[in-house]
Structure formats: C-alpha cells, structure tokens
Structure 1
Amino acid sequence: MDADQFADYVERLGRADSRDVVWSVVCGYFDQAGFDGVFYADLAPGRAILRTNLTKCWTDHYAAEHYFDIDPFFRHSCSQLAVTSTGQDYFDEHPYLDRQERQFILTAGETGMTAGLALPVRLAGPGGVGGWNVVTSHGRETVDRLRGSGWRIFHLAALLAHERMRDMTATDKSAPLTEREMETLRWAASGLRTKEIALKMRISAATVEFHGRNARHKLGAKTREQAVAIALTRGLIAM
C-alpha cells in the first residue's frame, strides 16, 4: 500500500457518515492489500460492536461454540498494543498457544483464512477490549511481505477506523439491537428460559446466550431481566 492509497483511505474515512460506510471503506482498503477477511470488535460496559465479513456459517458456529472464551485474539493479541501475526501459518511464532487455542485456529482456517494480522485498539481489561483481525486466504506470504512499515501503517489505519466507529456510535447514542437480539428479549419477556427460547428460534442454547449477552452490552444491562426492562421501557420490544 503506497502513500497515495493511504491518503485516499483517510479522506474517505473522514467523509463517512455512518458505521456502514466506515466498514465499507475499511474492508475495501484491506482487501486491496490482500486481506479478504476482516473482523472488528469494540466491547465495553454498555456497548458491544462486532462486525465481520466472514461467512454467516462461520459466525454462527463461533457463537454456538462459545469461541469468544478461547479466541487467542482476545486472550493474547489484545493484551498488548503491538501488531502480531495470526492464523495457523504462524504457529511457529506463538509457541505459548495451548491445545484448545490451536484447535480453534485450525478450525478457523477451514474458512480458507490461514494468516493475518491482529491490530489491537483497546487493551483487554475491566474497561473492555477491542481490535481488528484482518486475515487472508492468500497465505503467509501476503502478510510477510508487509512486515515492518506495512504493519505500522495498517495499525494506524485500524486506529483511525476505530475512532471513526466511535464517532458514529456517539452520534447514534447506542448501537441498535439486531433482529435476533430483539427476538431473544421478546421471548425472555414472555417468561421463557434459554432452552425454551432456543426451541422457539430454532437455534442452539449457546447462540441464544450469545444474542442475549450482546443485547445486555448494548443496553448497559447487567442481567437479562434488566435488559428486558430497558428494552420494554424504550419501546424496542413489546409484550
């Protein structure tokens, strides 16, 4: 990526007027560099923003298997602000990974994405965690040829995108609930428990928990009952 491409990226980010536009600009920028997969997370008390262009099949599987709890991106990559390599092609650079973490990475590699870069923007801690994981189906060579100055430019690009996402969040007041999150809360409001909601929605209990957790983050609620109360009060759901 040359200076002109980066300058164009910065200009288009500045003109973006919504998170969707920011997301489109970011995905296009990284795709030009050979990274065809993008994952973004900004998790904090009262807010949960998660975006990816990876397949729905993978994201559903990720939620159902509770991979958030073992994902090395959150466990390790976001414990420092340095850019680090990700993916099974880089096992040799991360000997500390345990068996469970390695198996998760191998499973993720079945999407075709076997190498990437972790670009942290918020260190993991009580205040939350956040970052970008840009991955490629073109193998380690794509990532290695950009080592050094290329990695630093991508980190700057990620930090700028994060700030624009935050700007949009501040404008929107709060991240909107997805249809699945609202449906989960509607069933909870009717008195159903997790397994019963799963049957109604024809999804796994783990996926119900995932949607419920996201809804709580977005509404600033500590419990499911509090999330239901807030959603009802704001008119987001009805009994």
Structure 2
Amino acid sequence: MSLIRSLADTMDAGSTPLQIWKSAIECLPQFGLSKVIFMDLSQRDTPLILTNACDTWANRYRHAVLAGLDPFARNCLTGTTTQTTGIGHFEDHEHLTQVELDQIAQGSASLGVRTGMSVTIRPDINGAGVGLNLMTDYNRADFSQLRAEHEDTWRAWCQLLYAGLNAQSAKNQPLTLTKKQLDCLAYFSDGLRTSEVAYKMGLSESTVELHVRNARLSLNARTRDQAVAIAVRAKFI
C-alpha cells in the first residue's frame, strides 16, 4: 500500500482539523521534511494557519500573516508556480525587498531550516490563497536531490491534507467516475508515472491524460494530485 493510501487510512481516525493535521505531520520524516506551514487564507474572517513549529513561533507567525507582513503569502500564493523558499535559496529571489529577505533569514534561523519549496493549491491574485511551505535543514544541493526523489509524494501529501481539512472536497462526493478513470487515479496514487500507467493499462499516454482530465472535471479538482487525494479520501480507490 502506498504511503498516501496509508496516510488516508490514518487520517480517517481524526474528525477534527487538529487530529487530521497531527496524523499528517507524523509522516513528514519519512520523506525528508522537517518543518511545514499550511495556510488557507481564502476565508478572510477565519484564516487557517497550521505549522509543526513551536507555539511561540507559530503565534508570532500568524500575527505577521494576518497583518499582511508575510512574504510567503504575498509571493507564493498568488500563482501555481512552485517557488523555492528559505535562506539557502536567496539567489533565486532577487525580486524580493531587503525587508522581505531579512524576514526570511530570521524565520529560517528561528526554525532551524535552510531550504524549502512552496506548493500552492488554490492561488489568489491578492495572496488570499491556499498553500504550503515545505522546509528542510538541507543545503541547496542536497535539497535539490531530495526534491527530485520525493516531490511527487510531497505534492500528493499536500493535496491529501487539504482534502482532509476541507471536508466538502471529500465528503458526500458522488461517484461519477468510470472504471478506467478510477484505475488511472489508483495507479497514480501508488506513485506510477504517466508512461508507466499507460503501459499497465495498455493505453497511450494521451489517453491516460484524457481519462485523468475527465476525472479532474468530475471531482472538481484543479490538478491530478488533487483528484487523487479526493478519490483516496472518499475511498473511491
């Protein structure tokens, strides 16, 4: 059974966001992450910000986000493009102001992290989106290698966490998928790539992509990973 399916089973035991969050972060060491921040700023009155950092740091960070002082929310939640984060990736961020760079340096030092990457689930042009900052204490070169090995799992984990926290995306979801659509999503949940799924199913890669696209539309998912997460969470696969 894949890590993602196993995590989904574990998360079923938690009925509250806090229980789901605790179940999710327990598996972080299995794929090399040390710190993570989840933020859903789409509900401006009640934004949800979760982190496995200490309470003192977390409370200070929440105040900064709500005051509009967080560079991650402003720069990483406005679009779907993944961005590197942390002090180890400073050279990638010449567009940031010195104040923003200082904030990143202070945050990295406080958390004991050096590198990371963003995963945006729902972008918002004003920064009121949904996304995560996945962080490690690796240097730039080692992080690049770690990312190459685990990025697919990281993204699936992010989507599954979001599906768990956003109950409407997984509960009462009608099963309107075809068998081939379900088979495609099941293979992707087990970590296979498009070419491997196509070989397993005896289909062309373009046909697999078409099945996944139709599955996304049926599940109202923005990405393949989100469709997999919703399907796993709803026990369709």
* TM-score band w.r.t. shorter chain: 0.5 to 0.7
User: Which 5+ residue runs of structure 2 have no aligned equivalent?
Assistant: 172-237
- What's the CA shift string for 1:3-57, capped at 9, x where partnerless? 7323322332345322122111221222322212121111214432111111233
Q: Equivalent residue for 2:106?
A: 107
Q: Equivalent residue for 2:73?
A: 74
Q: Equivalent residue for 2:119?
A: 119
Greater share of strand: 1
State the distance in 2 between where 1:25 and 1:65 align: 26
Give the counterpart letter for 2:163 in structure 1: E
State the distance in 2 between where 1:147 and 1:153 align: 10
Cα pair distance change 1:140/1:27, threshold 3 Å: farther
Q: Equivalent residue for 1:20?
A: 18
**Contact kept? 1:38, 1:132, Cα under 8 Å:** yes
162-171 or 71-80, larger mean C-alpha shift: 162-171
Give the counterpart letter for 1:53 in structure 2: N
Q: Equivalent residue for 1:93?
A: 92
Matched, 1:29 2:30: no
Q: CA deviation at 1:87?
A: 0.2
Cα pair distance change 1:58/1:15, threshold 3 Å: closer
State the distance in 1 between where 2:95 and 2:71 align: 10
Q: Equivalent residue for 1:53?
A: 52
State the distance in 1 between where 2:62 and 2:18 align: 22
**Contact kept? 2:65, 2:73, Cα under 8 Å:** no
Give the counterpart letter for 2:123 in structure 1: L
Q: Equivalent residue for 1:198?
A: none
Cα pair distance change 1:39/1:64, threshold 3 Å: closer
142-151 or 17-26, larger mean C-alpha shift: 142-151
State the distance in 1 between where 2:153 and 2:89 align: 21
Between the aligned residues of both structures, percent identity stands at 20
Cα pair distance change 1:84/1:68, threshold 3 Å: farther
Give the counterpart letter for 2:160 in structure 1: L
60-69 or 35-44, larger mean C-alpha shift: 60-69
Q: Which runs of 4+ in 1 moved over 4 A?
A: 63-68, 168-171
Cα pair distance change 1:108/1:67, threshold 3 Å: farther
Give the counterpart letter for 2:72 in structure 1: F
Q: Equivalent residue for 1:140?
A: 140
Matched, 1:167 2:174: no
What is the root-mean-square deviation of aligned Cα atoms in Å?
2.9
State the distance in 2 between where 1:9 and 1:54 align: 21
Secondary structure of 2:47 counterpart = strand
The two structures have a TM-score, normalised by structure 1, of 0.60
Cα pair distance change 1:142/1:17, threshold 3 Å: farther
- What's the CA shift string for 1:44-97, capped at 9, x where partnerless? 144321111112332344356668523221111112223322101011222211
Give the counterpart letter for 1:82 in structure 2: T
